[in-house]
A and B are shown apart, each in its own frame.
Chain A
Amino acid sequence: MRALINKFFAQLGVWGWTALVLIPFFFIMLFGTKDTSDIYGRPLNLLYKPQWSNFSSAWNVGGVQGAIGHWFINTGILVATALFVSLVVAVPAAYFTIFLPPKANRRVMVTVLSGTVVPTILLVIPYFKAYNQYHMLNKPIFAGLAYGVLAIPTTFLLMNRFFLDFPREVLEAGLLDGLSNSKIFRKLVLPLSVGQIVSVGILTLIWAWGDSQIAIVLLQSQESQPISVGMLSFAADFTTNLGATFAGLSMAAIPPVILYIILSKYVTKGIALGGITK
């Protein structure tokens, strides 16, 4: 009997939390397709005529033609740069570091690890100063560079841990076959590490896609803003056109969620592996 009651409360708890998690996604989609007067008048009514024009007014938010489109492009440039920088720099280093004597490997790891706990606020003011000085402000590619470098420690640590457990026999077999060391890395190791690289890359992608603290400082002009910063102007728009606001929110929030559902295997693995080091 006791066990049954426990089980009942556990079940109630998880359903409750699931509902709480889904509320925003449900209402973003519901209100995003509703007429604004309907949102005020009969917000919970589920039988209504979808108002698709919300999406076109959201697309041209603030009277700028295709504003959201520009934000998506800027976010794309930023995220792609960040991924490129962090992976190209950190993955080879993480691989070759495993051949260092264990003590040196550990010293490298601790040094890199200290980079994961630096508060962002300590960085953004000097970034602004330096970017301003070298005319790098308002360019998504340079903001992406900063995100990429800040993602290097996590990428390095997770990949290093993965490569340490990599079967050495495979590498030795490659050497006996006369492959050079860089060829072993490119032809043998990389193809076998795709899953891990995707997992780690997704952690970087989620972060760079959503963060606004660095972008708001380095990308101040309207045309250079990524979606995480551009959307802030929605917040001012609540009362005038609620429907369009929610349509905009759903355009920003739904694609990552769909991407996540498709790639969830990698995401969960990436977090289980490295949750602690992020």
Chain B
Amino acid sequence: MSVKNESPSKEVSTSSTQGRNLFSRKKKARIGLNAINIRSARFTLIPVFVLLFVFLALPMINSVKLSFSRWGGLGPLEAVGLNNYKFLFSDPQMRYSSRITIFYAFTVAFFVVAIGTLLAAAVSANVRGHKAMKLIWFFPGIAPPTAVAIFWSSGFQPESGVVNILLGKIGLGNNHAWLASSDTALFPVIFVGIWSAVGFAFLVILGAVEQIPVSLREAALVDGANMRQQFTKITLPLIRPILMTIFTLEIIWTFNGFTVVWAMTNGGPSDSTSILPILAYKEAFRYGRFGTAAAMAVITGIFLMIVGTIGIRLSRSEQQ
């Protein structure tokens, strides 16, 4: 994001220096270009803002309104003040779900960034086969999340599941029923969350690594640094801002994530994997309590805004 903020200012400087050097005929052309296009800009921006208002701002306002009401899916809203929030703050399931959502999001984001960085480092060091690997590693990001989640959820079944079959082959037993117990069900879900998100983070991080001038790394090699030192002393410090940003975004996306968890467990067994979006979905569309569901959504939104703001601040200050 910070990268983007720079581009308009960069544009000013280049266009003004160019403007000074141009012939007057071209200058006139530029003025014509701007004046008429500003009207077009206003005209084409109207649908953008109208649609974003209708599909983003309005629903958010309605969610907040709904969170102070009782609504069963039909008829008018019934105002209940702070009751929904009061109920949620004392509800053990809500507390449990908030805890596991935070745990889930931070664990996935941490491993995604860590693995993505290691893979990017390996590829930038030209490991054998890196061209094909770059292609293959994004497969999980391209396949529909529902399909891969269903595969993995079958894979974690005892005996018939692929994971258990493979573990059995190497002598670790083939009847682990992780998804059937509320103590362990979260771990396969975390694994699939990481598995499907690494490819994207890897490509972004690799993009950042490849922007580091080769001369810098070569200089380190000349100075006698080995591969690991080169990575920890040069690459890592230079890509830290981008790591911070992608870490924040991964938290937000995982926090928001619905499909993988829903397809693997439906939030079960006994709500042990019901992260907040799933808890809210069930509350609304299974139990018809749209008011409490909206309150959950609002709490989720506020939390995400806090995480997002802190993350962006941190990556900004890193950059300076």
Contacts from A to B (Cβ < 8 Å): 2-3, 6-7, 10-11, 13-14, 17-18, 20-25, 27-28, 39-40, 43-44, 85, 89-90, 92-93, 95-100, 102, 105-106, 108-109, 111-113, 115, 117-130, 146, 149-150, 152-153, 156-157, 161, 164-165, 168, 171-172, 175-176, 181-182, 206, 209-213, 216-217, 227-229, 231-232, 234-235, 238, 242, 245-246, 249, 252-253, 256-257, 260-261, 264, 267-268, 271-272, 275-278
Q: A126-B63, A164-B11, A232-B263 are in contact. Are A253 and B277 (CB under 8 A)?
A: no
**Set of chain A residues within 8 Å of B199, measured between Cβ atoms:** 21
Secondary structure at the A interface, as helix, strand, loop or mixed, is helix
**A–B complex contacts, Cβ < 8 Å, 5 sampled:** A120-B256, A121-B256, A125-B297, A129-B66, A272-B204
Judged by a CB distance under 8 angstroms, whether B52 is at the interface is yes
Residue in chain B with minimal CB distance to A256: B142
- Asked whether A21 lies within 8 Å of B128 as measured between CB atoms, the reply is no
Task: Identify the stretch in B79-87, B88-96, B143-151, B212-220 within 8 Å (CB) of chain A at 4 or more residues.
Answer: B143-151
B142 contacts A206, CB within 8 Å?
yes
Known interface pairs A125-B290, A210-B259, A275-B246. Does A117 touch B304 (Cβ–Cβ under 8 Å)?
yes
Besides the known contacts A28-B147, A102-B12, A272-B207, 11 further A-B residue pairs in the complex with CB atoms under 8 A apart: A3-B227, A11-B122, A21-B137, A21-B139, A99-B33, A106-B8, A118-B301, A212-B263, A213-B262, A253-B143, A271-B203
Whether A268 contacts B137 by the Cβ 8 Å rule is: no
A-facing residues in B123-140 (Cβ within 8 Å): 123, 125, 127-130, 133-140
Closest 7 CB pairs of A and B: A275-B204, A126-B59, A99-B37, A96-B41, A126-B62, A272-B207, A213-B258
Q: Which residues of A contact B43 (CB under 8 A)?
A: 96
Q: Are B298 and A172 in contact (CB under 8 A)?
A: no
Measured in the bound complex, the distance between the Cα atoms of B4 and A95 in whole Å is 16
Interface size class of B (residues with CB under 8 A): 35 or more
Name the residue on A nearest B211 (C-beta).
A272
Of residues 29 to 61 in B, which have CB atoms within 8 Å of A's CB atoms? 29-30, 32-34, 36-38, 40-41, 43-45, 47-49, 51-52, 54-56, 58-60
CB atoms of B153 and A235 under 8 A apart:
yes
**B residues 192-226 in Cβ contact with A at 8 Å:** 195, 198-200, 203-204, 206-207, 226
